[in-house]
Amino acid sequence: MTDITAQVDVLPGLDPRAPLLHVEDLNVEFRTRDGVARAVNGVNLWLNPGETLAVLGESGCGKSVTAQAIMGILDTPPAHVTGGRVLYRGVDLLQLPESERRKVRANRIAMIFQDALSALNPVYTVGFQLGELFRVHRGTSRREAKRRAAELLDQVRIPDARRRVDDYPHEFSGGMRQRVMIAMALALDPEVLIADEPTTALDVTVQAQIMNLLAELQRERNMGLMLITHDMGVVADVADRIAVMYAGKVVEEAPVYDIYAHPAHAYTKALLESIPRLDLKGRPLNVIRGLPPALTDIPSGCAFHPRCAYAREICRLEPPPAYQIAPQRVTSCHFVREVLGV
Amino acid sequence: MSDVVLETRGLTKHFKIRKGAVRAVDGVDIQLRRGETLGVVGESGCGKTTLAKLLVGLEKPTAGEIRVRGEDMVRLGGPALRRARRNIQMVLQDPYTSLNPRMTVGDIIGEPYDIHPDAVPRTGKARAVQELLDIVGLNPDHINRYPHQFSGGQRQRIGIARALALRPEIIVCDEPVSALDVSIQAQVINLLEGLQRELGLAYVFIAHDLSVVRHISDRVAVMYLGKIVETGNHAAIYEQPTHPYTQALLSAVPVPDPRLRGRRDHITLEGDVPSPADPPSGCRFRTRCWKAQPACADHEPLLEIRQRSPHPSACHYAEVRDVMRRF
């Protein structure tokens, strides 16, 4: 049988030496009846092969919208990408026609979602849905596609894969379904995997299994992994670098060890301090006062200032610039020295 | 003991299905003292939510007793049951679906007074609701607003105010903070702890987040497939767990400290939780347990103090293993 994997479509302008993924000044807004919600306001991110970047933030910070913009799966309308570039190996994905972008999805950049049950089609077997990738993107025959689907299920350690390929999504447990999603994302051997809260719906023991599996597969394939999460425990376990988002911006970016030891943004610091820790037992937890802002009405200056313990006049008036405080460390906080305690 | 406010004995709930029954809660004994917090942890399907529903009377037990201040709620009926129920209230997980969107906050928090008219304080219903709003840190002037005008954290405060309306001694909290963002979680946990101190409340705190449970609990019960497998004070469970399931559960919790990466004692369990409709014979955990011996299939281990377990543990081979070292 001929090797069909060689049929990957060629992208015009692709430079294999260019950075794997580079998001530059991305802006996304949602135009709704209640006004314009500015979900993403100038996000900058980069990702290298074999690296795990955690995008950390609370609900509504724009982390999922950023991922969806990279994938090109935003619902337009109401969402509109109003500026910026998403460079994959030097090609700006935002400028590609939809027909070209389709070839990028799954082939080059793939994504897994939080809720595997609603991401899978309940009326087709998982083997059919997995095989579809090979049939549509590679022109494989049905029989061959099914054989490969079984192979993939085996790679994500689903026991008895040859038989289970004919099962429907509801016949799998939550953890097994997430494995099916991972198999689907990895089917065409992408260079970038975006995982949007992949274990949030799972129990801790199953979460550990899935994170281990992701880490292993990433190592084998030297994939870049963008992990979108709100869980600071998961991040500490797997990430190389972290980008912390607040109100549609990356407010701090740093290698994982540095950020936990010495957070350089008031928000990051407050977030870390609000997790229950052993030495805080019997005492009140540190809280971040107030609420995250409405995206239709983002505060002036630094968006975090109404909730910030360090805030002063300048924070209300001027958006803080991105300070490079060390190699690979960027923070947007006017009082970075005070936050760091130096 | 007079300070025991809640006690269950052999509490059991089986849901009949076509073939046999789902044994959701299968012989649970708990004790709760005044002003104390009992944390209940376990994974989905372990029966912790069914336990919560049984405690507040939303499900009828198949067998067993639920004693509130010594009176068995299961055997009570009519006015006596209504009166007893006042003493045990509940806070639900999802503040978005547990508040009726068409009722004002005042009506939601005041609804318990409609059901128990003799419980309305002398100052009147509206006044009482405003006091409750104030107690949970909301603006008393917002009594006529609707749930959608509040954020998730504020809605959970509304749910807490509703639970407080009848001045119960016991509140069952079923995953009260898991739907909330980290920065908001801390606010609600602090509120619950403050209310406990001021009002002497006892909590049954059900959650899957082990660090939250450790923070708030005096004692902890670990559930697996409808049974409590280990119980003890928080230090015993977190620092000296003796049941293999507790050990696996604790070791799987991601710790927010990257320095511990690769240096922690990781126990990865194989496979999924078996179906509660057809639990394994003997010890229910044996199908996923690395210590299982043939005897585990034949003899069900009782939840008791053992030679190598200073607190009750339902494992024939219970033994301390500190999986949280340096955490």
B232 lies in some domain: no
Cβ separation B252–A205 shorter than 8 A: yes
| Å between B14 CA and nearest CA of chain A | 22
Rounded-to-integer distance, Cα B237 and Cα A207, Å: 21
Reported as a single tens digit per residue, the pLDDT across A4-50 is 444 455 777 788 888 999 999 999 999 988 889 999 999 999 999 99
State chain B's mean pLDDT as an integer. 91
Q: Domain tally for chain B?
A: 2
| Residues B86 and B180 grouped into a single domain | yes
- The set of residues, in sequence order, having a beta carbon less than 8 Å from that of A45 and lying 6+ positions away, is A21, A22, A23, A53, A55, A66, A226, A243, A250, A253
CATH number for the domain including B43? Answer: 3.40.50.300
User: What DSSP state is assigned to residue A91?
Assistant: E
CATH number for the segment(s) A4-239: 3.40.50.300
Residue A206 at interface with chain B, using a CB cutoff of 8 Å? yes
Determine, for residues A287 and B183 on separate chains, whether the beta-carbon distance falls below 8 Å.
Answer: yes
User: Does B173 share its domain with B257?
Assistant: no
Verify that B204 and B73 share a domain, yes or no: yes
Residue pair A274/B185 in contact (Cβ under 8 Å)? The answer is yes
Strands (E), chain B: 4-16, 21-33, 37-41, 63-68, 71-72, 88-91, 170-174, 202-206, 219-224, 227-233, 304-306, 309-313
**Domain co-membership, B200 together with B260:** no
Within a domain: B97: yes
B123-133 mean pLDDT: 92
pLDDT digits (tens, 9 = 90+) for A270-286: 999 888 877 778 788 88
User: Pairing between strand A323-326 and A329-331?
Assistant: antiparallel
Cβ–Cβ gap A260/B256 under 8 Å: yes
How far apart CA A64 and CA A110 sit, in angstroms, is 14
pLDDT digits (tens, 9 = 90+) for B195-247: 999 999 999 999 988 889 999 999 999 999 999 999 999 999 999 999 999 99
Q: Tell me which chain A residues have a C-beta less than 8 angstroms from the C-beta of B268.
A: 205, 208-209, 212
Instruction: Assess whether B11 and B142 both reside in one domain.
Output: yes
Say whether both B201 and B276 belong to one domain: no
Domain that holds residue B207: 4-217
CB atoms within 10 A of CB A288: 24
pLDDT digits 0-9 by tens, B64-100? 999 999 899 999 988 888 888 999 999 998 888 899 9
C-beta neighbour count of B115 within 10 angstroms: 12
In tens, the pLDDT along B240-271 reads: 999 999 999 998 888 888 888 877 778 888 77
Which chain A residues are within 8 Å of B259, Cβ to Cβ? Answer: 257, 260-261
**A294 token code pair:** 């409405």
How far apart CA B182 and CA B170 sit, in angstroms, is 26
Q: How far is the C-alpha of A124 from the C-alpha of A180, rounded, in Å?
A: 13
The answer on B210 and B139 residing in a single domain is: yes
Helix, coil or strand: residue B268: coil
Residue A1 scores a pLDDT above 80: no
The pair of three-digit structure tokens given for residue A321, joined into one six-digit string: 């610039």
Decide if B226 is inside a domain.
Answer: no
Give A299's pLDDT tier (boundaries 50, 70, 90): very high
Inside any domain, residue B33: yes
pLDDT number for residue A76? 85
Question: CB-CB: which of B153, B214, B252 is closest to A276?
Answer: B214
- Contacts (Cβ under 8 Å, ≥6 apart) of A275: A232, B182, B211, B256
**Same structural domain, B200 and B246:** no
Q: Which residue, B217, B251, B273, sits at the end of a domain? A: B217
The rounded distance, in Å, linking the Cα atoms of B23 and B53 is 15
Question: What does the pLDDT read at residue A6?
Answer: 42
Domain co-membership, B125 together with B92: yes
Q: What is the mean pLDDT of chain A?
A: 89
Find the residue in A nearest to B154 (Cα). A291
Nearest-CA distance A339 → chain B (Å):
18
Averaged pLDDT for residues B103-125:
91
Collapsed DSSP state (helix, strand, coil) of residue B150: coil
Whether residue B319 is contained in a domain is answered as: no
Map out the domains of chain A as residue ranges. Answer: 4-239, 245-340
Residue type at A254 in one-letter notation: A
Is the whole-model pTM more than 0.90? no
The verdict on a CB contact (< 8 Å) between B186 and A285 is: yes
Residue A252 predicted with pLDDT over 80: yes
Domain membership of residue B57 (yes or no) is yes
Per-residue pLDDT tens digits for A177-203: 888 999 999 999 899 999 999 888 788
